């Protein structure tokens, strides 16, 4: 590990370091288990959660689990946090129903801190690091990055037509999904054996039958309900946001030009099962440098 890598690792480790109170909560609930905090170097910083990897020994082998502290710094009340916690498993099941692989959620609990409530969860650990780290890494081959992008788009394209519907939103006719999902590179993990996982359940983005949010909190989301719907619960919005992030991190890593990246993505889109109108909207938006997406959303606001 180079000196620069060590400095990055140290900074990253401090960012994810559990507080003394969090460690006390952990010890109270698992008094017989000795955990070692393994700092997740391959995991991007979250906006609504902090994540650590815990390692323990089950008497035979070393095991690892993801330890999440959700809602930190959001000022949630105990009732708000608990209502969100209760929707984690139903939301997970909805995502699984439509083809997403989701790490197992072993256990969750709402805890009260001095000024807010947080949700602790213990999830299946998926080795490999998240998509943002992978796409930004110049040492990762382009073919693996294309595989991650293709599998993500194919999963979105696989939603049955009868479970989506057309909606006029923000000046465009779009395809509304059965739920929303925070589809960014940091929430995608490509496991070491090539399986794509979606790893973010917080906050749960469930929809009512009329297409409105089942749970929405301006403590968690700075976007309006309508704008959030456009970029997380419409197929076109989710794909455009995901691609723009991939383009940004991929090009910054070097090894590919905007022209090659976009042309290859257009070919990928053309060969999916997406309806032709959706392909046209997505392609035109990218060719024109995202005017619709820019009008409702910038990554720094979510």
Cβ atoms of residues 286 and 240 within 8 Å? yes
| Count of Cβ atoms closer than 10 Å to residue 220 Cβ | 19
Q: Are the C-beta atoms of 37 and 53 separated by less than 8 Å?
A: yes
Of residues 95, 235, 270, 241, the one with CA closest to residue 165: 235
Q: What is the pLDDT of residue 43?
A: 72
- Tell me if 47 sits within 8 A of 21, measured CB to CB: no
State the architecture of 3-124 in CATH terms: 2-Layer Sandwich (3.30)
- Judged by DSSP in three states, 112 sits in strand
Buried residues in 84-94 as b, exposed as e (16+ CB within 10 A): bbebbeebbeb
pLDDT single digits (tens) 119-169: 999 999 999 889 999 999 999 999 999 999 999 999 999 999 999 999 999
Q: How far apart are CA 31 and CA 51, in angstroms?
A: 21
**Is the torsion defined by CA of 28, 30, 36, 41 positive or negative?**
negative
To the nearest 10 degrees (0 to 180), the angle between helices 235-253 and 142-157 is 180
211: left (phi over 0), alpha (psi -120 to 50) or beta: left
Supply the pLDDT for residue 129.
86
Q: What pLDDT was estimated at residue 3?
A: 39
Report the pLDDT value the prediction gives residue 49, as an integer from 0 to 100: 83
List the chain domain ranges: 3-124, 131-301
The residue behind tokens 């105990």 is: 78
- What per-residue confidence (pLDDT) applies to 44? 72
- Is there a contact between 188 and 245 (Cβ–Cβ < 8 Å)? no
Q: Which among 233, 216, 224 is positioned nearest to 297, based on CA atoms?
A: 224
> Whole-angstrom Cα distance, residue 171 to residue 137?
37
Query: What's the distance, CA 299 to chain centroid?
Result: 13
Look at the block and give the residue holding tokens 């700075």: 222
Residues 6+ apart with CB under 8 A from 283: 266, 269
Angle 225-232/235-253 helices, nearest 10 degrees? 70
- CA end-to-end span of the chain, whole Å? 33
Positions in the chain short of pLDDT 70: 1-16, 39-42, 45-47, 300-302
* Residue 167 CA, distance from chain mean position: 24
Both tokens of residue 57? 């020994």
């Amino acid at each position: 590990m180079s000196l620069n890598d060590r400095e990055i690792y140290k900074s990253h480790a401090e960012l994810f370091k559990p507080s003394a109170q969090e460690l006390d909560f952990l010890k109270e609930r698992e008094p017989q288990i000795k955990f070692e905090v393994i700092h997740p170097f391959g995991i991007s910083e979250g906006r609504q959660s902090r994540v650590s990897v815990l390692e323990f020994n089950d008497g035979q082998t070393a095991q690892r689990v993801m330890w999440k502290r959700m809602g930190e710094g959001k000022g949630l009340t105990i009732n708000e946090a608990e209502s969100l916690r209760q929707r984690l498993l139903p939301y997970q099941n909805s995502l699984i129903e439509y083809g997403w692989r989701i790490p197992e959620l072993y256990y969750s609990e709402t805890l009260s801190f001095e000024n807010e409530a947080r949700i602790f969860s213990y999830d299946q650990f998926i080795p490999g690091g998240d998509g943002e780290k992978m796409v930004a890494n110049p040492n990762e081959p382009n073919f693996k990055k294309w595989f991650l992008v293709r599998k993500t788009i194919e999963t979105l394209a696989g939603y049955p037509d009868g479970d989506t519907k057309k909606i006029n939103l923000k000046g465009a006719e779009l395809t509304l999904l059965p739920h929303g999902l925070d589809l960014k590179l940091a929430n995608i993990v490509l496991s070491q054996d090539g399986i794509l996982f979606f790893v973010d359940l917080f906050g749960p983005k469930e929809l009512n039958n009329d297409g409105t949010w089942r749970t929405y909190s301006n403590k968690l989301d700075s976007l309006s309900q309508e704008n959030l719907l456009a970029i997380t619960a419409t197929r076109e919005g989710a794909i455009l946001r995901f691609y723009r992030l991939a383009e940004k991190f991929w090009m910054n890593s070097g090894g590919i030009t905007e022209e090659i990246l976009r042309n290859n993505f257009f070919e990928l889109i053309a060969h999916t099962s997406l309806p032709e109108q959706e392909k046209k909207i997505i392609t035109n938006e990218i060719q024109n440098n995202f005017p619709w997406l820019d009008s409702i959303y910038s990554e720094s606001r979510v």
